[in-house]
Amino acid sequence: MIKPHGANALLPLLVTDTEKRRELLAEAEGLPSLLLNSAAAANAVMLGGGYFTPLSGFMNLADSLSVAENMQTTDGLFWPVPVMNLTADTRSIEGAARIALRDPNVEGNPVMAIMDVAAIDEVSEEQFDTMTARIYGTLDRAHPGVAVFRSLGNYCVSGPVQVLNLSYFATDFGNTFKTAVEIREEIAQRGWETVVAFQTRNPMHRAHEELCRLAKERLNADGIVIHMLLGKLKAGDIPAPVRDACIRKMVDEYFPDNTVMVCGYGFDMLYAGPREAVLHALFRQNMGATHLIVGRDHAGVGDFYGPFDAQTIFDELPQGGLEIEIFAADHTAYSKKLQRVVMMREAENHTAEDYVILSGTKFREMLEQGIAPPPEFARPEVADILIAHYQAEAQKNTG
């Protein structure tokens, strides 16, 4: 099986020993506390589950700047996006060497982790501009990732952590949320060697389904891991439980047994385009995938990135930066001429009229009106789930 990034074995920071965890939780009650924001809490979940191997905790400002500018830490570890714990107020932890990190997303703000404070760095506006421009490719606060990043606070609290729980992901998505450790174990149990990962924050339409099938065939892969984001999204995106139901229905109906794993991870979407695509590849390597499908505008939003920027960035990575490979995909659509889903760059003698393509707006309008989209675009079983969701939302808004 493919090695984790920068290590011979996964380094999950979740404390799994029951007695040790009990002792740490008791200790945490007497420690100064810092209430995390959702972005830092998501980083803690990824650290806890082994996805961010080989990191031992949150990066300091020097490492964060180095990662933003050069895609490596000051020690030379390849890493595409800073893993930071930013806050606007450090008064509650002033002078503390050891602190409790509390969950902003669960009622009562339970302790998520204990941190040994290595440094508290104040981030200047110039440093924020540098990181924002390099990570997101823009300073425009109309970009949802930029807006969130610049709202988190200007103090960077860094140091190693011991993670004590995985927030709401483990409870709200018990059948879907998996740590990198659990996914590696299941891949090994299935006997898979060549494994394709598919990243999604949306339900999967026919084109996504066929893209997974196409990648599996061309790479002669043993299986596919459909790996959905379960954390915070921008307004208007479809909620995780609905996506989960859609994807499971598609897999159950249209893929052979023991060829697809459906699971999810606890992280908030960055919408950082190329940089986030590399992060997606890195933590998919950690979970055991040998290949990641990277399509048009992967992890993008609006018109902030070119359609293939998330693919070409992999040509710029340092030799040996990552072991995982990408499967570079073009936009896929159903060809009326060929009567199958194709990658559009591979379809000869086609015009726009030869494809079944719906805009996102038109697709949503049809679903809200209870109209099933063409079966060439969406499986009817999936469309039924989406229609029920949109109609329920419309009823809430009018009721």
Residue type, 88: A
Answer yes or no: are the C-beta atoms of 43 and 52 closer than 8 Å. Answer: yes
Residue 160 β-bridge partners: 57
How confident is the model over 143-192, as pLDDT tens digits?
999 999 999 999 999 999 999 999 999 899 988 999 999 999 999 999 99
Token pair, residue 50, equals 């082994």
Residue pointed to by tokens 């659509």: 333
Instruction: State residue 368's pLDDT score.
Output: 82
Give the other-Cβ count within 10 Å of 340's Cβ: 12
Q: Tell the burial category of 324 from Cβ atoms under 10 Å away from its Cβ (0-12, 13-18, 19+).
A: buried
Q: Is the pLDDT of residue 310 over 80?
A: yes
Residue type, 37: N
φ, ψ of residue 236 to 5 degrees: the values are 95, -20
Share of the chain above pLDDT 90, in %: 77
Three-state secondary structure readout of the chain: CCCCCCCCCCCCCECCCHHHHHHHHHHHCCCCEEECCHHHHHHHHHHHCCCCCCCCEECCHHHHHHHHHHCECCCCCECCCCCCCEECCCHHHCCCCEEEEECCCCCCCCEEEEEECCEEEECCHHHHHHHHHHHHCCCCCCCHHHHHHCCCCCEEEEEEEEECCCCCHHHHCCCCECCHHHHHHHHHHHCCCCEEEEEECCCCCHHHHHHHHHHHHHCCCCEEEEEEECCCCCCCCCCHHHHHHHHHHHHHHHCCCCCEEEEEECCCCCCCHHHHHHHHHHHHHHHCCCEEEECCCCCCCCCCCCCCHHHHHHHHCCCCCCCCEEEECCCEEEECCCCEEEEHHHCCCCCHHHEECCCHHHHHHHHHCCCCCCCCCCCHHHHHHHHHHHHHHHHHHHC
How confident is the model over 110-147, as pLDDT tens digits?
999 999 999 999 999 999 999 999 999 999 999 999 99
Q: Any idea how long the chain is?
A: 399
The pLDDT of 376-397, averaged and rounded, is 87
Of 109, 154, 202, 364, the active-site residue reads 202
Apex CA 131: angle with CA 125 and CA 135, to 5°? Answer: 145
CATH number attached to the domain at 18-171: 3.10.400.10
Annotated catalytic residue 105:
no
Residue pointed to by tokens 């079983």: 381
CA distance 211 to 208: 5
Annotated catalytic residue 201:
yes
Instruction: State residue 399's pLDDT score.
Output: 61
Residue 329 β-bridge partners: none
Calculate the average pLDDT of the chain: 94
Token pair, residue 187, equals 């891949």
The pLDDT of 260-274, averaged and rounded, is 95
φ, ψ of residue 386 to 5 degrees: the values are -70, -40
Q: Pick from 224, 225, 112: which is nearest to 170 by CA?
A: 112
Of 21, 98, 201, 248, the active-site residue reads 201
Residue 304 β-bridge partners: none
CA distance 300 to 275: 10
Answer yes or no: are the C-beta atoms of 391 and 365 closer than 8 Å. Answer: no
CA distance 205 to 373: 10
Would you list the domain boundaries of the chain? 18-171, 186-398
Q: Pick from 117, 166, 120: which is nearest to 13 by CA?
A: 166
Q: Is the pLDDT of residue 47 over 90?
A: yes
Residue 359's pLDDT band (boundaries 50, 70, 90)?
low
Share of the chain above pLDDT 70, in %: 98
Instruction: State residue 360's pLDDT score.
Output: 65
At the second CATH level, the architecture of 186-398 is: 3-Layer(aba) Sandwich (3.40)
Per-range mean pLDDT, top range of 96-105, 293-302, 355-364: 96-105
Token pair, residue 301, equals 């939003």
Token pair, residue 328, equals 């570079």
Pick from 9-18, 78-87, 269-278, 295-304: least confident: 295-304
Instruction: State residue 68's pLDDT score.
Output: 98
